[in-house]
Amino acid sequence: MTEHYPKVSPPGGSRRKKKPLEFAFKPKPEPPKPTVEAHPDVTQGKKFPCANCGGALKFDPAQNSLTCEYCGHVQDIPKSADQVSELCFETYFEKGEVAEAILAGAEGETRCGSCGASVMMPANVKTEECPFCGGHLEQRLSAPKPVMAPSGLLPFKVEKESAQAHFVEWVRSRWFAPNGFKRIAKLDKLKGMYLPHWTFDSMTYNFYSGQRGDYYYTYVGTGKNRRRQRRTRWTPVEGSVNHFFDDVLVCSSTSLPEKMVDDLEPWDLTEIVPYRGEYLSGFATERYSVSAKEGFGRARGKMDVYISQLVRASIGGDTQRVSSIDTQVDGVTFKYVLLPVWVAAYRHADKVHRILINARTGEVQGERPWSAAKIALTVLAVLAAAGGIALAMTS
């Protein structure tokens, strides 16, 4: 918004008027404010104004504090005495004792008409494109709806400039990509987002039955056909293995490919801090679309893979046959956490491609197009080289 300053007139209003003096003041920038629909039953998210100029503060990964983008004032985030606590899974579903509230720091919510993602953001974040699919976001922000309060989050650690450098390097290393794809890295489309996740802890008791296979060798055949042959001696086995799972991670967003998100691991989950709205300043987050109950089902899938490995190690031998595994879980706890990513969505040949960058480690995962022309030219070049070598050898 431009501030208007009054023109200065000479004293003595009854005298002959002179041309008023005009001063060329530089307009003072003001932080952008979204249009929020009235919602009488919902309390707005907490704002974080600059103590120096009143402008909006933005979380700065380099300083791990809030920074005013208008006057440069740095404001520390108060350290919380709270601990990142786990919630009892059984209590949550049987007694429904986990309450929902407006996410601190979120002042508006909008929905993508293309992929359906619900994005919550503070007042100092403005975007017209969906960070997940590049689709058009609604211009008007509605008041955010209540959600389960996050237990904690990992603050941004990789700055946008560094993330951009990782992005450029990743694009350059994509062989057989169209030339237009390599220009994508220069479009400055990276957006900072907190992705919602569930983590689960559980003690497991696993009872199994199967067979242990031990290799032995014998000679078969006669004369010139006599040869050494490997065989397996099978022994029936039963047993049990116990294992405690800590922080099995499940993304609670359906707006991104599950494998792409999983490939961003590992995360330094031991560095999770209690959630405070200040960390959201300057970034957006997505409303979780996978419930904790559904998330635990996915976590059990990850647990089962590891339990199978434990069972095979327990059976021993050279090879194993697993007939059955009966798993009992106990003391299941969980928490809702937010993990930071830089995300970009772009279109190439009418197809959406997405890039994700772990904002703690700089790990890049993404979808890339392929150039059929470059692949064909490479194949022809290899065939021509092979033909030249063959011709040289025959001559």
Domain edges within the chain = 57-214+230-369
The model's pLDDT over 97-139, given as tens digits with 9 standing for 90+, comes to 667 777 887 777 877 777 777 888 776 676 667 777 777 776 6
What band does 378 get if pLDDT is binned at 50, 70 and 90? low
377: region left, alpha or beta (phi > 0 left; psi from -120 to 50 alpha): alpha
What band does 83 get if pLDDT is binned at 50, 70 and 90? low
**In 3D, which of 160, 171, 169 has the Cα closest to residue 366?**
171
What band does 85 get if pLDDT is binned at 50, 70 and 90? confident
**In 3D, which of 162, 294, 321, 134 has the Cα closest to residue 235?**
321
Q: State how far the Cα of 20 lies from the Cα of 232, in Å rounded to an integer.
A: 104
Whether 361 shows a pLDDT value over 90: the answer reads yes
Concatenating the DSSP letter of every residue in 344-365 gives EEEEETTEEEEEEEETTT--EE
**In 3D, which of 65, 63, 47 has the Cα closest to residue 55?**
47
The model's pLDDT over 166-182, given as tens digits with 9 standing for 90+, comes to 888 877 766 666 565 66
Kind and range of the H or E run holding 382 = helix 372-394
The model's pLDDT over 11-49, given as tens digits with 9 standing for 90+, comes to 444 444 444 444 344 444 554 444 433 333 333 334 556
Q: Which of 34-48, 79-93, 316-330 has the lowest mean pLDDT?
A: 34-48
Q: Which of 25-34, 86-95, 306-315 has the lowest mean pLDDT?
A: 25-34
Q: What is the mean pLDDT of residues 291-312?
A: 94
